[in-house]
Amino acid sequence: MKKVIDLKKLQKAYASETVLNNINLEVFKGEIIGLIGPSGAGKSTLIKTMLGMEKADKGTALVLDTQMPDRNILNQIGYMAQSDALHESLTGLENLLFFGKMKGIQKTELKQQITHISKVVDLENQLDKFVSGYSGGMKRRLSLAIALLGNPTVLILDEPTVGIDPSLRRKIWQELINIKDEGRSIFITTHVMDEAELTSKVALLLRGNIIAFDTPLHLKKQFNVSTIEEVFLKAEGE
């Protein structure tokens, strides 16, 4: 099976505080990998280091066999940051058109993708409104839509469902599962433990260390509990 993300002995510190400690992690084609951990555990730092937005102190991070950052493969990666990077003076549609053109998507194909994706994130009736008037949840949904544009080989999503209601979360997760079934790969951080149950594997990041990494089923057996939330609470207490 093809490896799409490969982190080896990744280390990152700010001043004297170690944020990532000897992180080893692999993501393969057709997998959804969930990353969970308390606030401040280093989840966003791990993603930024993986993408080359932060420089690792030690170790290597490869995405699609490439040391990041590398402009040559950016169009194959759909990235959604924890903070929304949107043009607030433009409408939702204008944002999608702008980022779609940046990704090099042809006009007809882009129109078709926007129609589909805007339905997935439930924004099809809000695209003519200026983003400055969007709620926080709507901005998250637009950021996710932008990440999905271009059918990227790898999706890297940092807390994509924050501020989104449960019924829409289910719809978004069905799309993510469809993407996985197409053979594409997703790396996702989440605070929503029932979402972690839907992943291929879950990594638990605690105090800069990945203390567990396995399928949800095996983790529940390992910790002798019935939910991923209980895995998280038990691991945090140990």
What the chain holds in terms of domains, given with CATH numbers, is 3-237 (3.40.50.300)
Query: What is the DSSP code (8-state) at residue 183?
Result: T
Helix (H, G, I), strand (E, B) or coil at 147: helix
Strands 3-14 and 17-28: antiparallel
Q: Give, for all 238 residues of the chain, the pLDDT tens digit.
A: 799 999 999 999 998 899 999 999 999 999 999 999 998 899 999 999 999 999 999 999 999 999 998 989 989 999 999 989 999 999 999 999 999 999 999 999 999 999 999 999 999 999 999 999 999 999 999 999 999 999 999 999 999 998 899 999 999 999 999 999 999 999 999 988 999 999 999 999 999 999 999 999 999 999 999 999 999 999 887 7
Give the span between the Cα atoms of 235 and 21, in whole angstroms.
17
What is the structure's pLDDT at 140?
Answer: 95
- Name the amino acid, one letter, at 20: L
What is the structure's pLDDT at 163?
Answer: 85
Helix (H, G, I), strand (E, B) or coil at 160: coil
Query: What is the DSSP code (8-state) at residue 91?
Result: B
Half-sphere exposure at residue 207, Cβ-oriented, CA atoms within 13 angstroms: 5
Instruction: Give me the helices (H) in the chain, please.
Output: 43-50, 92-102, 107-120, 136-148, 166-181, 193-196, 216-222, 228-237
What is the structure's pLDDT at 40?
Answer: 86
Give the span between the Cα atoms of 109 and 127, in whole angstroms.
18
What is the structure's pLDDT at 122?
Answer: 96
What is the structure's pLDDT at 1?
Answer: 78
What is the structure's pLDDT at 16?
Answer: 85
